[in-house]
């Protein structure tokens, strides 16, 4: 076998052929415990968001009727919801409710948090279930804690520093006043902390307790963590197997008194501390009000650039080179460039185009264009109305300026009409077809003609003749004024 010189440590042939050497294989992945132990320097929330999302998804109530009351029951004493049976029957017996009164009630289990939710239409049933403190299942009694969940259209606030010796009825009397109109209920947690339930998704900054003004903050739900096993998604009081001892730092079951101590690792933030301690930055969940507000702000910020300057996703992701920018950039003239006020103050010669100065959203631009069209149409209509009024004024002045007919001719016509009989149909048609003569008759002449008619002896035929002449005169006046109005309406409709 030929020999060759390579760089490295010089060894003998005996050392190279020793049987204890093992061929190197591909590096195997580390164990989950060692991998997480080397990642304790990762920022909070960078790698441990899955546990928080899992808890948030499990904490949501199941799709139950929104108009019904919901009672949350937390079993204790090692009761496992997944393995238990006849829960509804045991709850009915504990609440002292007959089966006919609870036919419409629904029991829904939450295996992740080891709780179950009761949905009922009747308020009396909800109060009875909330007062349950113990249930009997399979000839064994388990302690439980139950409470009525808040409706979906409400929000919760926290007030601290309330005296611990005040009972619940006195707290309700102090807080439920006219000064707090949107407050629904009051409940104490711990010693000096009180939870307030408000209507809607807005919480006031201050609330009145009798005559005292107290600061109110947004309620943040604490992530459920177990002190027995150190895991997330359930609390210590609802742990299914309380007799099993698990080391909370690493989650390994204790089989003996001797256990190798390892560095703790938080399942929420990934830092080197026990899961869910007071110093954990991810201990509390983000409230729904804050998440809803952030989502709306994020949606507005993403929609405004899209409406103002629509760019496809592919164009946003690809960054053009300087050569491509020089080729695609259109030449800009001096007339389309303007110096900004900030550049003038800093004595810079940089300019920006009007499009870069301000870009309005698309819906604002559409509204401005609609208003411009309405303004042009309104101006056109106003000009037509002014022209029509001017023509009407000129026509009325021309009618008043015409000389009145001779009074003697009018008297002869009146005597001829009054002394005769009722005009026949051709005469009436001729009178209607000639409205210009009656229209040109002045008011003074008509008044004199009416006075002459009143002096004569009136009969039934004469009265009919007078009414017929009056009708013809009215038709003539109405026809004269109606024609311009009809033309104006036709122009407006066109």
Q: Is the pLDDT confidence value at 357 over 60?
A: no
Q: Is the pLDDT confidence value at 344 over 70?
A: no
Do 365 and 407 belong together in one domain? no
At residue 159, the pLDDT reads 92
Specify if 8 maps to a domain. no
- Work out the widest C-alpha separation in the chain, in whole angstroms: 162
Specify if 40 maps to a domain. no
Mind listing the pLDDT tens digit for each residue in 203-251?
A: 889 999 888 899 999 888 777 777 666 667 667 666 666 556 666 656 5
Q: Is the pLDDT confidence value at 200 over 60?
A: yes
CB 353 within 8 A of CB 445: no
Specify if 457 maps to a domain. yes
Report the number of distinct structural domains present in the chain.
Answer: 4
CA 28 to CA 492: how far, in whole Å?
Answer: 86
Rg (CA), the chain: 47
At residue 424, the pLDDT reads 45
Do 420 and 371 belong together in one domain? no
Do 394 and 408 belong together in one domain? no
Specify if 2 maps to a domain. no
At residue 77, the pLDDT reads 81
428 or 449, which is more confident = 449
Specify if 278 maps to a domain. no
Q: 94, 128, 148: which is the final residue of a domain? A: 148
Specify if 244 maps to a domain. no
455 or 493, which is more confident = 493
CB 383 within 8 A of CB 428: no
**Which residue pairs, CB below 8 angstroms and at least 24 apart, start in 437-442?**
438/472, 438/473, 438/476, 438/477, 439/476, 439/477, 439/480, 440/399, 440/402, 440/405, 441/405, 441/410, 441/473, 442/402, 442/404, 442/405
Nearest alpha carbon to residue 158 among 170, 175, 177, 179: 175
103 or 351, which is more confident = 103
Specify if 271 maps to a domain. no
Mind listing the pLDDT tens digit for each residue in 441-489?
A: 555 555 555 555 444 455 656 667 777 777 777 666 656 555 555 565 6
Q: Is the pLDDT confidence value at 316 over 50?
A: no
Write out the residue range of the structural domain in which residue 379 sits: 359-401
CA 424 to CA 447: how far, in whole Å?
Answer: 25
Q: 148, 165, 185: which is the final residue of a domain? A: 148
Which residue do the tokens 């910020």 mark?
301
At residue 35, the pLDDT reads 42
Q: Is the pLDDT confidence value at 30 over 50?
A: no
CATH code of the domain covering residue 91: 3.30.70
pLDDT, mean of residues 56-71: 73
As a whole-number percent, the residues of the chain with pLDDT over 70 amount to 51
Q: State the Cα torsion 203-204-209-212 to the nearest 10°.
A: 150
At residue 207, the pLDDT reads 92
What pTM was estimated for this model as a whole? 0.45
Mind listing the pLDDT tens digit for each residue in 100-145?
A: 888 888 888 887 788 888 888 888 888 888 888 888 877 788 888 8
Mind listing the pLDDT tens digit for each residue in 401-410?
A: 665 555 555 5
Do 435 and 455 belong together in one domain? yes
| Mean pLDDT comparison of 20-29, 361-370, 431-440, highest-scoring range | 361-370
pLDDT, mean of residues 139-158: 85
Of the ranges 62-66, 129-133, 247-251, 374-378, which one carries the lowest mean pLDDT score?
247-251
């Amino acid at each position: 076998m030929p020999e060759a010189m390579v760089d490295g440590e010089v060894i003998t042939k005996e050392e190279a052929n020793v049987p204890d050497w093992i061929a190197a294989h591909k590096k195997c992945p580390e164990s989950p415990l060692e991998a997480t132990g080397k990642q304790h320097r990762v920022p909070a929330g960078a790698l441990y968001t899955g546990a928080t999302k899992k808890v948030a998804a499990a904490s949501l109530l199941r799709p139950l009727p929104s108009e019904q009351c919901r009672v949350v029951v937390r079993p204790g004493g090692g009761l496992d919801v997944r393995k238990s049976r006849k829960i509804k029957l045991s709850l009915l017996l504990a609440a002292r409710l007959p089966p006919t009164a609870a036919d419409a009630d629904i029991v829904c289990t939450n295996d992740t948090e080891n709780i179950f939710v009761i949905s009922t239409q009747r308020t009396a049933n909800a109060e009875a279930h909330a007062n349950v403190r113990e249930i009997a299942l399979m000839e064994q009694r388990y302690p439980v804690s139950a409470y009525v969940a808040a409706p979906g259209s409400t929000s919760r606030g926290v007030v601290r520093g309330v005296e611990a010796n005040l009972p619940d009825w006195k707290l309700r009397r102090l807080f439920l006043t006219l000064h707090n109109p949107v407050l629904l209920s009051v409940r104490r947690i711990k010693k000096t902390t009180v939870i307030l339930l408000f209507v809607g998704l807005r919480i006031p900054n201050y609330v009145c307790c009798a005559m005292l003004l107290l600061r109110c903050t947004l309620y943040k739900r604490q992530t459920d963590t177990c002190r027995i096993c150190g895991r997330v998604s359930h609390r210590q009081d609802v742990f299914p197997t309380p007799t099993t001892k698990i080391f909370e730092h690493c989650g390994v079951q204790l089989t003996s008194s001797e256990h190798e101590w390892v560095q703790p690792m938080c399942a929420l933030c990934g830092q080197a501390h026990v899961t869910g301690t007071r110093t954990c930055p991810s201990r509390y969940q983000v409230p729904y009000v804050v998440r809803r507000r952030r989502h709306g702000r994020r949606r507005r910020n993403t929609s405004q650039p899209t409406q103002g300057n629509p760019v496809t996703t592919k164009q946003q992701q690809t960054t053009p080179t300087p050569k491509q920018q020089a080729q695609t950039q259109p030449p800009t003239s001096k007339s389309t460039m303007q110096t900004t006020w900030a550049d003038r103050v800093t004595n810079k010669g940089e300019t920006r185009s009007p499009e870069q100065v301000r870009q309005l959203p698309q819906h604002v631009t559409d509204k401005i264009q609609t208003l411009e069209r309405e303004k042009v149409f309104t101006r056109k209509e106003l000009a037509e109305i002014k022209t029509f009024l001017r023509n009407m004024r000129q026509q009325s002045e021309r009618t008043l300026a015409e000389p009145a007919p001779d009074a003697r001719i009018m008297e002869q016509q009146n005597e001829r009409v009054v002394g005769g009989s009722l005009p026949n149909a051709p005469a009436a048609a001729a009178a209607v077809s000639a409205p210009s003569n009656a229209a040109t008759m002045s008011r003074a002449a008509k008044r004199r003609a009416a006075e002459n008619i009143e002096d004569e002896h009136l009969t039934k035929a004469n009265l009919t003749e007078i009414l017929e002449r009056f009708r013809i005169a009215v038709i003539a006046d109405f026809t004269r004024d109606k024609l311009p109005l009809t033309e104006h309406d036709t122009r407006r409709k066109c």
